[in-house]
Amino acid sequence: MTTKTISHWVDGKSFVGTSTKTAPVTNPATGEVTAQVALASVEDTRAAIDAAAAAFPAWRDTSLAKRVQILFKFRELLNERKPELAKIITSEHGKVLDDALGEVTRGQEVVEFACGIPHLLKGGMTENASTKVDVFSIRQPIGPVAAISPFNFPAMVPMWFFPIAIATGNTVVLKPSEKDPSAAIWMAELWAEAGLPAGVFNVLQGDKTSVDELLTNSGIKAISFVGSTPIAQYVYNTGTAHGKRVQALGGAKNHMVVLPDADLDLAADAAVNAGFGSAGERCMAISALVAVGGVGDELVAKINERAKTIKTGDGTKGCDMGPLVTKQHRDKVASYVDAGEADGATIALDGRQVQPDGGENGFWLGPTVIDNVTPDMSVYTDEIFGPVLSVLRVESYDDALELINSNPYGNGTAIFTNDGGAARRFQNEVEVGMVGINVPIPVPMAYYSFGGWKSSLFGDTHAHGAEGIHFFTRGKVITERWLDPSHGGLNLGFPQSHH
């Protein structure tokens, strides 16, 4: 029996709340329930929103110099202690330690980007737009904002948003996934240590009840959501209907095209890394490999050769690939492999038979390669979110492009080729937000923006980079004249600048 309960962080301290509802948190490598996470009631959610609202006026007026000092301190502490955070991620998510550390480092890059906020927030100024009339623009914070994040990146995805929201003068309520809730609390404690005033960063543990309150409560001015497509669509529709600014990033089905002239060893390495890294539980994972013009047999052979060497097991034991996040998710992913087989695809490598280096009750599924997949099969149409790589064979570049552009998702994609002209065509013609050329997981750097197209993102603003700054601020333009004796007296005409 476990008694540990993971609760909320509100107004600079741990907050138990009134709800008695909880959900189990498991270690996916052992199957053991390690804690219960509190699931916030509407009342608890309001307490977090109130704390963020109360902290907002003072934080928005805190100087950029002071904000930057706190951001730098947070970055230093994070950099120093990230192995602790990686361990927490591995214990609740299951991904191997190296990968967890990589996730934290990518999140840290957004913190580093946000440290440059004085430069990023500079407005424009025009002197003498009309005689002795000056015009200037500024960007101001929008108020308390909420971030709602998925299980697969419990540290990085929240860090796509909160460093920038905080740097631009907003206060934040983060609602992490109930499957791996501890990383958010660890980060909240780090903020407190870095000197962030109480109430600027709050963590609310919860499920749909708390999300619905965040979406409808007038105290929250903007929502950054990341998760599956149906929930992203719901969050976008509900949040915008309640007058909020919303960016809602959804699911994915990422294609990797291999042209006949590609270096097949490079392509095979890339397909294995991008297909099975983090057990395929990445929104940028490659799940559909598109072999063009007869390279299929050789490519699948090379992929199998490599995928067979992957050591699946407990993420703390130096394995290459960890378990899936829950038993339910593991079984769902395995059921797609069954469906692919029943639909007539070839199971070229079968992860259902894996012998893991981990607990007998862990949520294991080894690397799986399904060949001869066609676009009507559920292994292709659905986002599986597991270590399952489907291989589709097409005749030409045009067929590959048509396949990708008819897919409802448009998060990431990659092309492998040695032909610069073909790559140039692909980057121009493909209807996907993030494109890799001989790079299988083209996650943009913090100073660019992350976001997909079509059903992979609802809203019009991508995460971090310039678009992140824009999302968390409102523009204001000031037109200014200091009166002197030559002012024009009464004039009811529309202001124009012809003098």
Q: Quick check: 222 and 146 in contact, CB under 8 A?
A: yes
Among the listed residues 40, 283, 349, 415, the single contact to ligand NAD using CB under 6 A: 283
Q: How far is the CB of 34 from ligand NAD (least distance, A)?
A: 18
Q: Supply the angle between the helices 156-167 and 182-194 in degrees, to the nearest 10.
A: 30
Does 452 engage in binding with ligand NAD (CB under 6 A)?
yes
Is residue 66 classed as helix, strand or coil in its secondary structure?
helix
The answer to the question of residue 247 lying near ligand NAD (CB under 6 A) is no
DSSP 216-252: H-TT--EEEEES-HHHHHHHHHHHHHTT-EEEEE---
Is residue 103 within the footprint of ligand NAD (CB under 6 A)?
no
410 binds ligand NAD (CB under 6 A): no
- Within positions 289 to 308, which residues make up the interface with ligand NAD, using CB under 6 A? none
Q: How far is the CB of 490 from ligand NAD (least distance, A)?
A: 57
- Residue 17 Cβ, how far from ligand NAD at the closest point, in Å? 16
- Cβ neighbours of residue 215 closer than 8 Å, sequence gap 6 or more: 223, 235, 238, 239, 242, 244
Q: How far is the CB of 220 from ligand NAD (least distance, A)?
A: 14
Q: Is 217 in the site for ligand NAD (CB under 6 A)?
A: no
Contact window for ligand NAD (CB under 6 A) among 9-17, 33-41, 203-211, 264-272: 203-211
Asked if residue 182 binds ligand NAD (CB under 6 A), the reply is: no
Contacts of 139 (CB under 8 A, 6+ apart): 121, 123, 168, 469, 470, 473, 474, 475, 476
Task: Tell me the two tokens of residue 46.
Answer: 């309001």
**Cβ–Cβ contacts within 10 Å for residue 442, how many?**
18
> Closest separation between CB of residue 122 and ligand NAD, Å?
29
Q: Does 186 bind ligand NAD (CB under 6 A)?
A: no
User: Least distance (Å) from ligand NAD to the CB of residue 195?
Assistant: 28
If one asks whether residue 275 binds ligand NAD (CB under 6 A), the answer comes out as no
Give the contacts of 241 (CB within 8 A, at least 6 positions apart): none
The span of 132-140, 152-160, 286-294, 302-310 binding ligand NAD (CB under 6 A) equals 152-160
Cβ–Cβ < 8 Å for 453, 431? yes
Minimal distance, residue 325 CB to ligand NAD, in Å: 8
C-beta of residue 164 within 8 angstroms of C-beta of residue 239: no
Kindly indicate which of the ranges 72-80, 151-159, 300-308, 420-428 contains the residues binding ligand NAD, using the contact rule CB under 6 A.
151-159
Catalytic residue among 29, 88, 145, 283: 283
Q: Positive or negative CA dihedral for 14, 19, 20, 25?
A: negative
Half-sphere exposure for 454 (CA within 13 Å, toward CB): 18
With binding defined as CB under 6 A, does residue 385 bind ligand NAD? yes
Q: Which of 208, 424, 476, 487 binds ligand NAD (CB under 6 A)?
A: 208
433 binds ligand NAD (CB under 6 A): no
Please select the residue that binds ligand NAD; options are 149, 182, 202, 247, rule is CB under 6 A.
Answer: 149
150 binds ligand NAD (CB under 6 A): yes
What residues have CB less than 8 Å from 237, skipping those under 6 apart? Answer: none
> What CA–CA distance (Å, rounded) separates 440 from 447?
20
Residue 183: count other Cβ atoms within 10 Å of its Cβ. 29
Residue 226 pairs in a beta bridge with 249
- Select from 32-40, 171-179, 331-339, 395-403 the region that touches ligand NAD (CB under 6 A): 171-179
Q: Is 319 a catalytic residue?
A: no
Interaction between residue 226 and ligand NAD (CB under 6 A): yes
- Of 246-254, 262-270, 336-344, 470-478, the segment contacting ligand NAD by CB under 6 A is 246-254
Q: Which of 87, 100, 115, 109 is nearest to 159 (CA)?
A: 109
CB-wise, 227 or 296, nearer to ligand NAD? 227
Compute how many other C-beta atoms are within 10 angstroms of the C-beta atom of residue 79: 13
User: Shortest distance, CB of residue 69 to ligand NAD, whole angstroms?
Assistant: 31
Can you tell me the distance from the alpha carbon of 57 to that of 171, in angstroms, rounded to the nearest whole number? 9
Which residue numbers are catalytic? Answer: 283
The residues that touch ligand NAD, with contacts defined as CB under 6 A, are 148-153, 157, 175, 177-178, 207-208, 211, 226-228, 231, 249-252, 283, 383, 385, 411, 452, 456
